[in-house]
Amino acid sequence: MKSARVCIVTHLFPPHVGGIERVAYEQSKRLLQNGLKVTVLTSDMVRRRSYIYDGIEVHCYPTLKVGFGQGIPYVIPKPSGYGIFMKHIKDSDIVHVHGHPYLSSYLAVKVAKRHSKPVVVTQHNTFIRYGGMLDLAERLNDLLIGRRVLKSSDKIITVSKATLNYVLSLGADPQKTVILYNGVDVDRFNRFIIKEDAKRLLGFSEDSFLI
């Protein structure tokens, strides 16, 4: 039986550091471990057309990068990258998009629908308040880009009740929307660590009070 082919679209991916990057990486790694074929499409932060990251096949589309200096990472795919979306989405069985507000998500959804590929969107956060005109720009982007991504998706995954309410307010179909809380690597984050060991690791004195 042929393995299912999953195309994961995320505006950022390791080695770039961040929350969505980590989630997309962990998802890709575990899908591979379960025998699926995984291809990641992401922006050209590493200035390479493609690379392998921990066994994961990654392809990069050229982008304009805005907002990084202000802590608002937003990438705009260049027209020359359209063929990358076409090739890898056409060759996939399902497309998983991370983040509703990105132009890369919108492009991926449009291409997927053109080739009759099912689309899953994971939304990781609610509205982020930056203040002033940035909030206005974000709301406009939600209406012009985000809403269309959500309405065109076959399944929408949210990571909290607040995120669920957020996407519903943008017109997401309640019948297609679910909550799936983020997992925790219990080998890395272990709450059963002995207090004395925790004090030593954190540099606290032995007689310090630790909850």
Would you place residue 206 in the very low, low, confident or very high pLDDT band (cuts 50, 70, 90)?
confident
Q: How far, in Å, CA of 183 to CA of 185, rounded?
A: 7
What is the residue-averaged pLDDT of the chain? Answer: 91
**Placement of tokens 């880009």 in the chain:** 145
Q: Residue 194: pLDDT above 70?
A: no
Quickly list H helices, the chain: 19-33, 82-90, 103-114, 133-141, 147-152, 161-169, 195-202
pTM above 0.75, yes or no: yes
| Domain residue extents for the chain | 5-184
Q: How far, in Å, CA of 28 to CA of 39, rounded?
A: 8
Q: CA Rg, the chain, in Å?
A: 19
Say whether the peptide bond before residue 118 is cis (omega within 30 degrees of 0). no
Range scoring the smallest mean pLDDT among 59-63, 108-112, 194-198: 194-198
DSSP letter at 152? H
Asked if residue 78 lies in contact with residue 64, where contact means CB atoms within 8 angstroms, the answer is yes
The CATH number of domain 5-184, selected from 3.40.190.10, 3.40.50.11540, 3.40.630.180, 3.40.50.2000: 3.40.50.2000
Asked if residue 123 lies in contact with residue 35, where contact means CB atoms within 8 angstroms, the answer is no
Give 125-183 pLDDT, tens digit per residue. Answer: 999 898 888 889 999 999 999 999 999 999 999 999 999 999 999 999 999 999 999 98
Backbone angles phi, psi at 103, to 5 degrees: -65, -30
